[in-house]
Amino acid sequence: MKKCLTVMILCSCILFSGCGPTTLVKSSQGSTDFIGFVTQLENNQVLINDVWFSFNQQTVMLTDRDKKLHKEDIEMGKKVNVTFNGEMQESFPRRASADQLVFLTDKESKIEETVVKLVMSDPRFSQVVVQSIEKNPTGLYSLRFKDLSLDRDVHVMVNVENERVIVPIHTSTK
């Protein structure tokens, strides 16, 4: 009986601890930074990874080179560092209010933007919610995202040089 109870407790701990993708969120003096990619824009809200950030006239929008931007300057696929007050609604996608949007312009950010834009323009996908992106040793980029229209997690490889999105073939042993 004790063994059964111990196993049930361990299983419950594993089940409730979860193992979702990591989000680039860090604390800094009362505010929080969140780095991700713009995949949707509606009214005064922008979807960055899995968070809808609302913004208003008080929200500061600029590049990392201090060039001031406006709502009309927001482009799909752009990499952005969002500063917000740390309060986030736990829905899917999550929701928060942005204090500042800083669009990143370094070389690596530009390449990652290209990766995201290639996936977003691929007709096989429509509502992309970025979960993670990383460069593989082969030079290809691995992009994991949730496609809301398909309601499934997707993993693709992207060859930036050839502008190709590669969907790996999954085989089953059944």
What does the pLDDT look like over 7-23, one tens digit per residue?
344 444 343 434 333 33
Q: Please, are residues 62 and 102 in contact by the beta-carbon 8 Å criterion?
A: yes
Task: Give the span between the Cα atoms of 102 and 144, in whole angstroms.
Answer: 23
Buried b (16+ CB within 10 A) or exposed e, 48-65: bbbbbbebeeebebebee
What pTM does this model have? 0.76
pLDDT in tens, 57-76: 999 999 999 999 999 999 99
